[in-house]
Amino acid sequence: MRFTGRVAIVTGAGGGIGRATAARLAAEGARLVLVDWAAEGLAETVAQLPAGTDVMSAPLDVSQEDQVQSLVERVMERFGQIDVLCNNAGISGSGYPPIDQQDRDEWARLLDVNLIGPMLLSKHVAPSMKARRQGAIVNTASVAGLRSGAGGNAYSASKAALINLTMTCACDLGEWNVRVNAVCPGLVETGMTRRVFEAAREQGKGHKLGSRCELRRYGRPEEVAAAIAFLASDDASFITGQALPVDGGNTASLNLPGMKV
């Protein structure tokens, strides 16, 4: 029960890693503020939480500062504090077009959601965390932000930038005992990666999913949520400015095409 009495905002909570994170934090006693732009997904997440969970849900677009500021004001009115921020909301884009086929509008939208969104949430929760001299922010980046081959150009660039934002924010907020870290999931089956899994299974290659990970399997949202909960908890009290791969060992090797059988 590491989060008893604590208030946690989880964005992208309408499914996948965000939903799993909400469930994990609730199971450990957190009071929750769940955010997603899909109201239906949010309702499904709320319905799956343990009975008695103190939860507030808010459909919004994390890239719109007026909506983010309004959310934080409402959270402070209701709970009076914000202890944890999990910036999980993200989008993947249309696929893997080469650089000479990139679409500027898609880049703008990916950066808006994957980078500007976490920046805005962090900006508006930071004052309350600094005032209480405690808090933890955990950003969901990706192994795509660490090396190529795990995502398209725009997605990878947005996650690399989010990792750097994690480090710079950690430097900004450390003297107030506010920690900022990131998790970098590898291949995990979620709504965002569903097309990858479906395509592999349709081609009879489902058994190869995760084969390039050292654990020889893909991950589950709950496994990423466990890492997020650790970084958000006092168990990680001396960890800040770090990007933790949760990828079955995928980034521990060269992982070049054809190198593993």
Query: Does any domain span residue 102?
Result: yes
Query: Does any domain span residue 261?
Result: no
Listed residue (72, 106, 105, 75) closest to 92, CA to CA: 106
For residue 77, give the amino acid letter: E
- 155 flagged as catalytic: yes
Q: Is the dihedral of CA 115, 117, 120, 124 positive or negative?
A: negative
CA 45 to chain centre: 16
CA within 13 Å, CB half, 92: 17
- Is the distance from CB of 94 to CB of 106 less than 8 angstroms? yes
Burial of 44 (0-12, 13-18, 19+ CB in 10 A): middle
The pLDDT value given to residue 155 = 94
Question: What's the 3-state SS for 34-101?
Answer: EEECCHHHHHHHHHHCCCCCCEEEEECCCCCHHHHHHHHHHHHHHHCCCCEEEECCCCCCCCCCCHHH
Query: Does any domain span residue 258?
Result: no
Query: Does any domain span residue 196?
Result: yes
From first to last of its 261 residues, the chain has per-residue pLDDT tens of 999 999 999 999 999 999 999 999 999 999 999 999 999 999 999 999 999 999 999 999 999 999 999 999 999 999 999 999 999 999 988 878 889 999 999 999 999 999 999 999 999 999 999 999 999 999 999 999 998 878 899 999 999 999 999 999 999 999 999 999 999 999 887 766 666 655 656 777 656 666 678 888 888 999 999 999 999 999 999 999 999 999 998 888 866 555 544
Q: Which of 3, 37, 155, 218 is catalytic?
A: 155
CATH of the domain at 163: 3.40.50.720
- Note down the domain range covering 115: 7-252
Express each pLDDT in 208-228 by its tens digit: 666 678 888 888 999 999 999
Query: Does any domain span residue 184?
Result: yes
Q: What is the pTM of this model?
A: 0.93
Q: How many domains does the chain have?
A: 1
Query: Does any domain span residue 208?
Result: yes
Express each pLDDT in 160-212 by its tens digit: 999 999 999 999 999 999 999 999 999 887 766 666 655 656 777 656 666 67
Query: Does any domain span residue 257?
Result: no
Query: Does any domain span residue 82?
Result: yes
